[in-house]
Chain A
Amino acid sequence: MSLLELKDVKKIYQQGKIKVPALRGVDLNVEEGEFTTIFGPSGSGKTTLLNMIGCLDTPTEGEIRLNDKKVSDLSRKALAMTRRHNIGFVFQSYNLIPVLTAYENVEFAIRLIDHTSVLQIKEKVLKILDEVGLKGLENRRPNELSGGEKQRVAIARALVKEPKLVLADEPTANLDSKNAADVVDIMRKMNKELKTTFIFSTHDPMVMKYARRLINLKDGMISADERRG
């Protein structure tokens, strides 16, 4: 079943009097449970495409459907609600809140949508932290964690609300090869266990190696779309 559908999506930025096209007409279908990588040179439009898919931005032209619901022309408030309930984000620079512990950073995300009891929330947060290998580090603040551990917290934060889609923009760019491999392993594991759909943007060949679908973006257009068994 198609989770995400993009039809002739274009994005043009206005820089002064000059129009700069970032996406020149992207057509894309992503099924539920896919583990997809978008790659391409700098300026090819990877981040812009992820922003469109993640409902952080709206296209200049074209249509985006998420879960069979058109999201490309929603209001800011409706886009926020779509992100809150359906999408998890993992950023290159983790973007954790420094005054919160690992536990609280994850709790923060689930509290936005889950109003069940504190105990149930605690159970969920501890479980996901355990799954990303952070058992015992729950009470550490970001400055007490390594880069790999921070990114695991960010993954836990993205996954704790059990979104249909997780978007990760260069998630291993700030990590050494061992930590990068660990992070990708965790995401693969979650993809298999939870059937969560993952879409990455990356330059990292190691991340691409694990992807089951590789989309090559060039000059704002998809130049290759390869599925692996």
Chain B
Amino acid sequence: MFSFKLGLKNLTRQKRRNFITIFVIAFAFLSYLMMDSIMSGMEEMSFDNIINYDTGNVQVAYPEYWEDRDELLLENLMDLNRDMEESIENTDGLLGVSPELRFKANLNNGIDEVSVRGVGISIEKYNQVFGTKNYVVEGSMFAPGESKAVIGVKLAELMNLKVSDYITLLVRTTKDTFNTIDIEIAGLLRAPNPMINNGIVFVPLEVAQEALNVGNGVSMLAIKTVSGDEGTVIKALADSFKDKELGLRAYSWKESAASVIALSTAKKGGIGAILSIVLLIGMIGIINNVILSALERTEEIGMMKALGMREWEIVFVFMVEATGIGIFGGLAGCLLGYAGVSWLVRNGFSLAYIGGDGAAYGIPILDKIYGAWNYPAFSFLFTLGVIIAVLSSIMPSYWAAHKDPVKAIYHR
């Protein structure tokens, strides 16, 4: 079809203007793809950091405890017994089970005092579920049977503490009396989840249980499963708990990460707004291009009409040209986006540029957010870009084609 050929050839006219339009579209695509990559990466990293350093894949607790779990109360604790252990041991797909006793404490270094979250852990079981031990930057995690503590470097800096220093944890027991845990620091942590670094003190489970006077009580069990198997495990555990009438419930990590998920959802809304702006930029670029081309080619349009071209045939010529610009802009944008996202995936975006770690923004990420590949975003954006290019060229093309032939021919 000759009109198609003419439309394509017209792409070689006004090279500079077409290049600028293509560049603007490409830059808009790049911005969107990088933003999308950062958001996806942040979501992935946040969820990984929650699962691997805070909650595990599944948590088991009494519903009454779970409802008020942020209060760190010593009520409705689980008293680990044979029935419970059997229920859990007989469930398929578990890679590790870590009992935790979470409690409120005041950490005292002899001069200052700060409120912290104490976590009593059974170190061997804890290491099966969480990867925290890989982030000990000074000293080590405490060994089984050793009565020592591990704290985050941020907390250590705040309280001017180092390895081998003694700290005092002031706690309130179940009998509503005060008790203290005097304990030596075995190691300092710098985990990817900044929440761990800022305000948690890990102590041996039996030390915490004794100091808090809770017997064998634990707040919850953190369970590691194969990623994605949480639903199956939760169902199996629920059935088992029901059979044995234990009154326990299993919860997905998502329930603990509700605030992060809400934040992530809100940011997806933000991405949608960015997408709208990107498409608007593309639309304005294309409309501007078609209008300028039509103004420059007024006599040519008149000649086409004199030759007997119908309006839709002239519209088609302009639409082919506009669509070509959309396609080139989209391709260039996807190529630039590929380069940009590759860089983000490899090098990440330092949170120092926005002043601090992710904790300041409610996201459990420490230093850098690494981009994530979201291939559907490339094809989605490209397709949408081309569709928008076609649609946005219709009106100005029709305006161009609708010109009075006499006025167009004698335009000058």
Task: Name A's B-contacting residues (CB within 8 A).
Answer: 47, 51, 54, 56-57, 76-77, 80-85, 87, 89, 91, 93, 95, 97-100, 107-109, 111-113, 157
Q: When the two chains form their complex, are residues B303 and A89 in contact, meaning their CB atoms are under 8 A apart?
A: yes
Q: Is B80 an interface residue (CB 8 A)?
A: no
A91 to B411, CA, bound (A): 13
Smallest CB–CB gap between B242 and chain A, Å?
76
B405 near A97 with CB under 8 A, answer no
Q: Is B310 an interface residue (CB 8 A)?
A: yes
CA gap between A207 and B220 in the complex, in Å: 104
- Give the most central of B299, B308, B406: most A CB within 10 Å: B308
Among listed B7-15, B130-138, B283-291, interface-contacting one = B7-15
Contacts of A95 in B (CB 8 A): 299-300, 302-303, 409
**CB-CB nearest in chain B for A93:** B299
Asked if A97 and B309 make an inter-chain contact with CB atoms under 8 angstroms apart, the answer reads: no
Q: CB-CB < 8 A to A83: which residues of B?
A: 305-308
Contact flags B272-303 to A (C-beta < 8 A → 1, else 0): 00000000000000000000000000011011
A-B contact pairs, 21 of them (CB 8 A): A51-B406, A56-B405, A56-B406, A57-B405, A77-B310, A80-B308, A80-B309, A80-B310, A80-B311, A81-B310, A82-B308, A83-B305, A83-B307, A84-B308, A91-B303, A95-B303, A97-B303, A99-B9, A99-B13, A100-B6, A100-B9
Determine if B307 and A89 form an interchain contact, defined as CB atoms under 8 angstroms apart: yes
Chain A residues near B303 (CB, 8 Å)? 89, 91, 95, 97
Q: Number of contacting residues on B, CB 8 A?
A: 22
Q: A80-B309, A84-B309 are in contact. List 5 more A-B contacts (CB 8 A).
A: A56-B405, A80-B311, A83-B307, A83-B308, A99-B12
Q: Are A112 and B410 in contact (CB under 8 A)?
A: no
Give the contacting residue for B309; candidates A98, A99, A107, A112; CB below 8 A.
A112
Q: Is the CB of B409 within 8 A of A109?
A: no
A56 pairs with B308, CB closer than 8 A = no
Output the least CB separation between A158 and chain B (Å). 9
Q: Inside 8 A of B299's CB, which chain A residues have their CB?
A: 93, 95
Instruction: Kindly supply a per-residue 1/0 record for chain B positions 395-412, scoring 1 wherever the CB is within 8 Å of any chain A CB and 0 otherwise.
Output: 000000000011001101
Interface residues of B (CB under 8 A from A): 2, 6, 9-10, 12-13, 299-300, 302-303, 305-311, 405-406, 409-410, 412
Instruction: Identify the closest chain B residue to A81 (Cβ).
Output: B308
In the bound complex, CA of A89 to CA of B405 (Å)? 12
B306 touching A56, Cβ below 8 Å: yes
Report Cα–Cα, A85/B307, bound state, in Å: 9
The reply to whether B306 and A112 contact each other, CB–CB distance below 8 Å, is no
Q: Which partner residue on chain B sits nearest A107 by CB separation? A: B2
Pick the contact of A112 from B307, B409, B412 — CB < 8 Å? B307
B-side contacts of A57, CB under 8 Å: 405-406
Q: Which of B300, B302, B306, B311 has most A Cβ within 10 Å? A: B306
The 4 closest A-B pairs by CB, nearest first: A84-B308, A95-B303, A83-B308, A99-B9
Give chain A residues whose Cβ lies under 8 Å from the Cβ of B6.
97, 99-100, 108
What is the minimal beta-carbon distance from B307 to any residue of chain A, in angstroms? 6
Which residues of chain B are near A157, meaning CB under 8 Å? Answer: 307
CA A98 to CA B10, docked complex, whole Å: 9
Whether A112 lies near B308 (C-beta < 8 A) is yes
| Shortest CB distance B168–A (Å) | 84
Specify the chain B residue showing the minimal Cβ separation from A121: B2
The answer to whether B308 and A85 touch across the interface, beta carbons within 8 angstroms, is: yes
Among B307, B309, B409, find the residue whose CB has the most chain A CB atoms closer than 10 A: B307
**Which of B13, B310, B409, B412 is the one whose CB lies under 8 Å from A56?**
B409
| CA A109 to CA B13, docked complex, whole Å | 21
CB distance from B3 to the nearest CB of A (A): 9
Residues of B within 8 A of A113 (CB): 308
Complex CA gap A105/B290 in Å reads: 22
Task: List, in ascending order, chain B residues with CB within 8 A of A81's CB.
Answer: 308, 310
**Cα(A175)–Cα(B300), bound, Å:** 20
Residues of A within 8 A of B2 (CB): 107-108, 111-112
Q: Which A-chain residue is minimally distant from B11 (CB atoms)?
A: A99
What residue in chain A is nearest B306 (Cβ atoms)?
Answer: A89
Return B316 CB to nearest CB of chain A, in Å: 13
A124 to B309, CA, bound (A): 20
Interface centre among B300, B303, B309 (most CB of A within 10 A): B303
Bound complex: CA A102 to CA B309 (Å): 19
Closest residue to A100 on the B side, CB-wise?
B9
